[in-house]
Copies of this chain bind each other. A is one copy, B any other.
C-alpha cells in the first residue's frame, strides 16, 4: 500500500494514463534511463541521481512490482535489471530525450548520441538507423557522449563510466559471479 497511490488517474480509460501510473512519477524515468546505461545497484543510482534514499527505495519497489525491473539477489548485494517490459520502454525514453534536446535545451546540452552497434550509424530523431532502415532495440545500441562538454561534469562512478562509448544494457560493474 502507498506504492501505486497518488498516481492514480483512475477515471481515464486510456493507455497513456495506464503507462503514466507506472512510469509517470518523479524520478522513475531517470532511474530507468540509468538501467539502460547498465546501472544495476542501489548505491550507483543514488550517487548518479541525487535522489532521496527513501524515494529511490519506493521507486524501485514499485517498478519491481510492476514487473518493469527484477530484483536479483543471490547472496550478495541486490541488483535491479530491466525485464522485457522494461526494455520495451526504450522508445519512450528516447523520444523524450530527443524532444528535450531539440526544444528545451537546443545546443546547450549535447547529451549523448546513440548508434546502431552493427553498422556504427547514428540514429535519427525517431530512433531509426538511416543505414539499415530499421529501428534497433536498446540491446543493439552504443551510447557515446555527444560533442561539447557538460556544464558541470559529475564525478560519480556512473558519470565517469559514461564518458566512454558503451554498449547499452551491459552491466556497469562486473557481476559478482559466485
Sort A-B residue pairs by CB-CB distance and give the 9 closest, nearest first: A19-B100, A15-B100, A92-B95, A18-B100, A85-B103, A15-B101, A13-B150, A15-B111, A18-B104
The answer to whether A11 touches B111, judged by C-beta atoms less than 8 angstroms apart, is: no
Known: A12-B49, A30-B9. A99 touches B88 (CB 8 A): yes
Q: What's the minimum C-beta distance from A144 to chain B, rounded to whole angstroms? A: 14
Q: With an 8 A cutoff between CB atoms, is A38 at the interface?
A: no
Number of copies: 2
- A11 near B154 with CB under 8 A, answer yes
Residues of B within 8 A of A105 (CB): 15, 18
Chain A interfacial positions (CB closer than 8 Å to B): 7, 9-24, 26, 29-30, 33, 49-50, 66, 85, 88-89, 91-105, 109, 111, 126-127, 135, 150-154
Chain B contacts of A16 at CB under 8 A?
Answer: 29-30, 33, 93, 96-97, 100
Across the interface, do B126 and A13 meet the contact criterion of CB distance under 8 Å?
Answer: no
* A15-B109 contact given A26-B24, A127-B126, CB 8 Å threshold: yes
How far apart sit A29 and B101, CA to CA, in the bound complex (Å)?
Answer: 18
**A50 partner, pick from B11, B20, B127, beta carbons under 8 A:** B11
Q: A9-B30, A14-B30, A18-B104 are in contact. List 6 more A-B contacts (CB 8 A).
A: A10-B50, A15-B109, A16-B97, A19-B100, A89-B99, A92-B92
B13 and A152 contact, CB distance less than 8 A: yes
